[in-house]
Structure 1
Amino acid sequence: MKLQVAIDRVPLDRAVDIAHSLDGKVDIIELGTSIVKDYGLEALKQMDFHLEKSELLIDLKTIDEGEYEFKKGFETSADILTVMGSSSNGTLNQTYQIAQDVKKDIFVDLMEINDDRLNSMPELPNAIFGLHHSKDSVESFDAVDTIKQFNDQHPQISRLAVAGGIDIDQAKKIADQGIADIIIVGGKISGTSDPVSAAQKFMEAIK
């Protein structure tokens, strides 16, 4: 299982510092959508986000203009870009193909996606699919049960990530469950005074 750490809502130089401090300590480092919106892809391209050991995910949340946004996104040092599952099949196909062409990864964000929409998506066999509980949602979220239900209904999806307020105890349970490939943790690591120490505790819980 991989640990992905999301960096959000911090100044760009702080994001660089956190990313480099976690390089090699976690599997994937995510620059969240707030970073993209606050500073833009051109700024991310100019900053030193080149990582030596960890993969870099930039959370574009593309929903249209897929070809343009993914080509621009991969001009940065990103290894993985995100597209919303609610976008059109045309956008999904375009972004998937671009990721395949440059031998990088695509992450399909399934926030607010129901089974009907998921079943109508094109086949994207190499994509990562992310179960993503909305930060703004007032509903409770049981990651372990959600993963189990999703896997029962969609066993053909082999690369599964999960995000949504995951703590150490939940991380252990998800790892023991053995279904999801990636757990995503944000502020419980990147928002602490010592992200490296916090990340180490999560890594110990899932490995």
Structure 2
Amino acid sequence: MAKLQVAIDLLTTEAALELAAKVSPYVDIIELGTPLIKAEGLNVIKEMKSAHPDKLVFADMKTADTGALEAEMAFNAGADLVTVMGAVDDATIKGAVEAAHKLEKKVVVDTIGVQNRVQRAKEVSAFGVAFVELHAGLDEQALPGYSIQKLITEGIEAQVPFSVAGGVNIDNVKDVVAAGATVVVAGGSIYGAKDPAAAAKALQEAIGA
């Protein structure tokens, strides 16, 4: 069954821990967003892993250089998974994967900014990454005509382990799962909900239905 990942795009450790406490019973992976890590540093990773040792902690580092070094930094802080940008040189991704193997952790490739996500997903999967995140960032989602269906279609075409991040909600989550996603990433539909726990629970139930 697909795992549910909550993307915490908040800006303080306190707010992130508060949200995680509410939704942790219903999610498999707790993602610490890039703005959160930039605002709070690696300590937010340590705090989250300490609070939720039974969950996979996903550090959205969006590494673009020094793949091995940045991956090791996040892993040593307690992250189970880190992201490297798909648009960077292959050596950066491979370096992060090597670091992950040494520490028994995992790397995810983020495809923001990649022109041909399907082709790149196939290329980087050969490097030993855990899965590829087919990701439309907030800026792309705000563009006229954006539809998550494009990511869903790309996942079907890529035929590699993938996640979908880019507007997942209760109305489309079943389509994401039906496409074969390894991980379903929900951000605003959880942390922006009036009741985040109920929103996470509803997504979890839809994934398992």
TM-score interval for Structure 1 and Structure 2 normalised by the shorter chain: 0.7 to 0.9
Question: What TM-score, normalized to structure 1?
Answer: 0.88
Q: Are residues 149 and 15 of structure 1, via their aligned partners in 2, closer, same or farther at CA, if it must alter by over 3 Å? A: closer
2:61 alignment partner in structure 1: 60
The 3 A distance-change label for structure 1 pair 14 and 144 is: same
Which of 120, 128, 136 aligns to 1:133? It is: 136
CA contact (8 A) 2:125 2:132 kept: no
Stretches of structure 2 that go unaligned for 5 or more consecutive residues are none
Further displaced range: 58-67 or 108-117: 108-117
Q: Summarize deviations over 1:15-36 as a string: whole Å, max 9, x none.
A: 1122233223211110100101
Q: Does 1:172 align with 2:174?
A: yes
Q: Which residue of 2 aligns with 1:142?
A: 147
Aligned partner of 2:49 in structure 1 is 49
Alignment of 1:42-121 (within 5 A): 43-50=43-50, 51-115=52-116, 118=120, 121=124
Residue pair 1:141, 1:164 contacting (<8 A) in 2 also? no
More displaced 10-residue stretch of structure 1: 92-101 or 141-150? 141-150
- Cα distance, 1:105–1:173 mapped onto 2, change above 3 Å: same
Deviation at 1:196, TM superposition (A): 1.2
Classify the secondary structure of the residue corresponding to 2:76: coil
- Contact 1:56/1:77 (<8 A) preserved: yes
Asked if the contact 2:59/2:81 (under 8 Å) is kept, the reply is yes
TM (norm. structure 2) is: 0.87
Q: Report the Cα distance in structure 1 between the residues aligned to 2:197 and 2:48, rounded to whole angstroms.
A: 19
| C-alpha distance after superposition, 1:119-164 (max 9, x if no partner) | 6547223421000012112143433443234432x32x2x200011
Offset, 1:100: 1.5
1:143-162 to structure 2, matched below 5 A, reads: 143-152=148-157, 154-155=158-159, 157=160, 159-162=161-164
RMSD of aligned residue pairs (Cα, Å): 2.1
Alpha carbons of structure 1 residues 167 and 57: separation in structure 2 relative to 1, 3 Å: same
Gaps of 5+ in 1: none
Tell me the distance in 2 between the aligned counterparts of 1:110 and 1:100: 22
- The number of residue pairs the alignment matches comes to 202
Contact 1:84/1:110 (CA < 8 Å) preserved in 2? yes
State the identity %: 31
